[in-house]
Amino acid sequence: MLASCLAFLVLIFTAYINHTKSFRIFRNCIFLLILAAVSDIVYHMLLNSLDTVPHEVVYAVRITFHLSLFAILLHFVFYAKETLHMELKSDDKYIYAAVTAYALIALYEIVTTVTGTVFYIDEENNIIQGPSLFPLFFFFYAVIILLMLILHKSRIYKQIYIGIVVTTLLSICVMLIQGMHRQSSFTAAVFLFPMYAILYFMHSNPYDPEIGAVNISAFEDLTAYSYAHKNELLIMSLFLQEFDVKDRKFPKELQDLIRHYNHHFFKRALLFRLSGGRIVLVAETAKNPDYRERLDSMLKDFYTQHERFRLDHKIIFLTTIDEIGKTNDYLDLIRYLESLMGDREVKYVDKKDIEAYREHKYIVHELEDIFRKGDLNDSRVKVYCQPVLNARSGKYDTAEALMRLKLEKMGIVYPDSFIPIAEKYGYIKILSLIILNKTCLAIRRLISEGYYLKRISVNFSMIDVRESDFSEKVLKIIESNGIPYEKLAIELTESQSEQDFIIVRDKINELKDSGIKFYLDDFGTGYSNFDRIIELPFDIIKFDRSLVVASNSDTKSETMVSYLAHMFSDMHYSVLYEGIENKDDEQMCIRMCGRYLQGYKYSKPIPIEGLTEYFERVS
Ligand code: C2E
Ligand code: CA
Ligand code: CA
């Protein structure tokens, strides 16, 4: 019995276990069980030497034994309340009942011992033991716990529920059988069954037997725990893309190597496997004050080994920082930094990285809020515009709408910093609609103020177009602003897959009849597929700035670009050159069949209201 308890202790201290509140309750149970087991042993030893020992000691030890057993039952109730998330005021009744029962038992034990009604030792050192209420109290607790479990069974995983209920029932059975045989030697052991179940189900952290690592929740728990206790940690993350697939195993040599890193370089380091290919080693800096040197020697070793394995990797070192610790976002920080790193790169995280990450988080948070609110007039989304020169008329009559965010803590934010995030999380959908709405509004104002404008183009991403109600939404927004459809154009880039191509083709065909124009954006940056391009009824092909730059630098490119532009023109597409920065660019692009010219030479993107400076007033 005592041995079992000690085994428990060894297990919970060697295995890495989450230090949650329920775990602390559980740990107290083990201590109480040890107390019970020890007092039980002492009690039986004392019974053999009643001649020499004062009887009060025997009484005291017996009471300790009983009360520690009931304290365990009381803790089980606390434990059940915690793990079943019973946070309502009305759930406190279980606690009141359990605590009251405990007070009654304590009183009962003391009174019956003092008055010698249930148990006493007579002058001849005989033990006189009458019937006790002990089993009654035991069943009372068992009933409370079973009730809690049964009434809240939906809150725990079914297998765990069954496991715990069965072990509790088993304990009750053993108690009953004991009672029938009027003996008590298994009393303490009865408590072990549910504890085995709890340890097994609730507090075991699956070890990765290959490399001896624990999982992600253990990692998050450790970082939270260390933050709370102000223990600085050194976190070393190794990401191996190739293994980041579910159930992918490390080859034997790599397993050996990882185990070697686990123990060799840092004192008391812990190893975590956060995903298939992500291994994290954590050590306390206080225990490794010379961690810089240790890191260097580990890296040196790593690169010798790298000769053998040649795996793509990203390595990040960081010491825990309070601001990130507050929200316990280390894994997210690591993932974010990795997304900016190249393969086979090593990074020591510094203040600037943390700052960039916090900005990133802030942007994500704001985008999410914009998405959630779904307000087509959200003031954080700004439409900038770049006027486009009509080379034939020499006037500005079209423009491209370009998105900016204006965020309280950051001011104006440029697309590079938020479009990829917005696309990744799907928030782009609302942003595009807001830009469309605001552009329509500005168009209406410009027209009503007497400006001539042919159209303004709005960028949409593939994520927008894939929405089944894309066309409907676009038409509705234009219509609600009361402007003619042909004042609006949609810019799309070439699709990457056959599937997307079909979607784009269908959407263009759905919208084309309304009068909306279509631009093919960034031509010349991908693997242009002419068969596909000419299958789509685009109106304008936007030649990317890279083609302008290339044409500037060598005549071969110029010939080729010029040839392409002529070909498109002959096929009744208009060619727009992007990124015209100076007079030379301009002249060359006009030579190369440029119908529209856009770039810093004419204007940087400006707030859309500023277009009045460029467009011609006709009435
Ligand atoms: P894009 O559609 O190719 O837009 C043209 C980009 O080139 C703009 O950058 C513009 O400021 C920049 N640019 C204009 N003239 C010149 C020039 O003479 N030289 C150089 N080097 N650059 C020039 P911006 O505004 O930072 O936008 C970047 C990208 O973000 C856009 O590329 C587009 O892909 C995306 N984006 C912007 N607004 C939206 C939007 O409302 N929706 C979507 N889905 N994407 C947008
Ligand atoms: Ca564009
Ligand atoms: Ca472009």
- Which pLDDT belongs to residue 99? 95
C-alpha 160: how far from chain center:
26
- Which pLDDT belongs to residue 450? 97
- Which pLDDT belongs to residue 182? 62
Ligand closest to Cα of 428 equals: 1
Q: Is 524 in the pocket of ligand 1 (CB under 6 A)?
A: no
Residue 56 in this model has a pLDDT that exceeds 70: yes
What is the residue type of 496?
Answer: Q
Residue carrying the six token digits 């920065």: 581
Token representation of residue 505: 């083709």
- The share of the chain scoring above pLDDT 70, in percent, equals 97
Residue range 21-41: mean pLDDT, rounded: 88
CATH number of 216-349: 3.30.70.270
Task: Report CA(521)–ligand 2 centroid distance (Å).
Answer: 5
Three-class secondary structure assignment of 464-497: HHHCCCHHHHHHHHHHHCCCCHHHEEEEEECCCC
Residue 598 Cα: closest atom of ligand 1: 15
Residue range 237-250: mean pLDDT, rounded: 88
- Which pLDDT belongs to residue 429? 97
Rounded distance, CA 343 to CA 314, Å? 6
- Asked if 611 and 384 touch (Cβ cutoff 8 Å), the reply is no
Indicate which residue's Cα is closest to atom 8 of ligand 1: 402
- Which pLDDT belongs to residue 205? 65
Average pLDDT, the chain: 90
Residue range 375-385: mean pLDDT, rounded: 98
pLDDT level of residue 15 (50, 70, 90 thresholds):
low
Q: Is 381 in the pocket of ligand 1 (CB under 6 A)?
A: no
Rounded distance, CA 513 to CA 616, Å? 28
Ligand closest to Cα of 433 equals: 1
Helix axes 92-115, 55-83, angle to 10 degrees: 170
What is the residue type of 489?
Answer: A
Give the number of residues written for the chain.
Answer: 619
Indicate which residue's Cα is closest to atom 3 of ligand 1: 522
- Which pLDDT belongs to residue 584? 95
Task: Report CA(520)–ligand 3 centroid distance (Å).
Answer: 9
- Asked if 614 and 603 touch (Cβ cutoff 8 Å), the reply is yes
Q: What is the pLDDT of residues 138-193, one digit of tens each?
A: 889 989 988 888 888 777 777 777 878 888 888 888 878 877 776 666 666 777 77
- Which pLDDT belongs to residue 249? 83
- Which pLDDT belongs to residue 206? 66
Give, for ligand 1, the residue of 436, 459, 494 to mutate: max count of ligand atoms closer than 8 Å to Cβ: 459
Q: Is 399 in the pocket of ligand 1 (CB under 6 A)?
A: no
Q: What is the pLDDT of residues 185-234, one digit of tens each?
A: 666 677 777 777 777 777 766 677 777 788 888 899 889 889 988 999 99
Residue range 481-508: mean pLDDT, rounded: 95
Q: Is 563 in the pocket of ligand 1 (CB under 6 A)?
A: no
- Which pLDDT belongs to residue 367? 98
Residue 29 in this model has a pLDDT that exceeds 70: yes
Task: Report CA(521)–ligand 3 centroid distance (Å).
Answer: 5
Give the CATH number of domain 361-613; options: 3.20.20.450, 3.40.225.10, 3.40.50.970, 3.20.20.70: 3.20.20.450
Decide which of 531 and 418 is more confident. 418
Q: Is 462 in the pocket of ligand 1 (CB under 6 A)?
A: no
Q: Is 423 in the pocket of ligand 1 (CB under 6 A)?
A: no
Residue 275 in this model has a pLDDT that exceeds 90: no
- Which pLDDT belongs to residue 164? 80
Residue 49 in this model has a pLDDT that exceeds 90: no
Q: Is 346 in the pocket of ligand 1 (CB under 6 A)?
A: no
Residue 120 in this model has a pLDDT that exceeds 80: yes
Q: What is the pLDDT of residues 365-374, one digit of tens each?
A: 999 999 999 9
- Which pLDDT belongs to residue 174? 82
- Which pLDDT belongs to residue 331? 93
Decide which of 16 and 382 is more confident. 382
Cβ-based burial of 58 (10 A; exposed 0-12, middle 13-18, buried ≥19): buried
568: left (phi over 0), alpha (psi -120 to 50) or beta: alpha
- Which pLDDT belongs to residue 577? 98
Q: What is the pLDDT of residues 388-445, one digit of tens each?
A: 999 999 999 999 999 999 999 999 999 999 999 999 999 999 999 999 999 999 999 9
Task: Report CA(365)–ligand 3 centroid distance (Å).
Answer: 27
Rounded distance, CA 556 to CA 546, Å? 14
Task: Report CA(408)–ligand 3 centroid distance (Å).
Answer: 28
- Which pLDDT belongs to residue 549? 95
Q: Is 419 in the pocket of ligand 1 (CB under 6 A)?
A: yes
- Which pLDDT belongs to residue 397? 97
Rg (CA), the chain: 37
- Which pLDDT belongs to residue 214? 83
Residue range 487-503: mean pLDDT, rounded: 94
Residue 298 in this model has a pLDDT that exceeds 80: yes
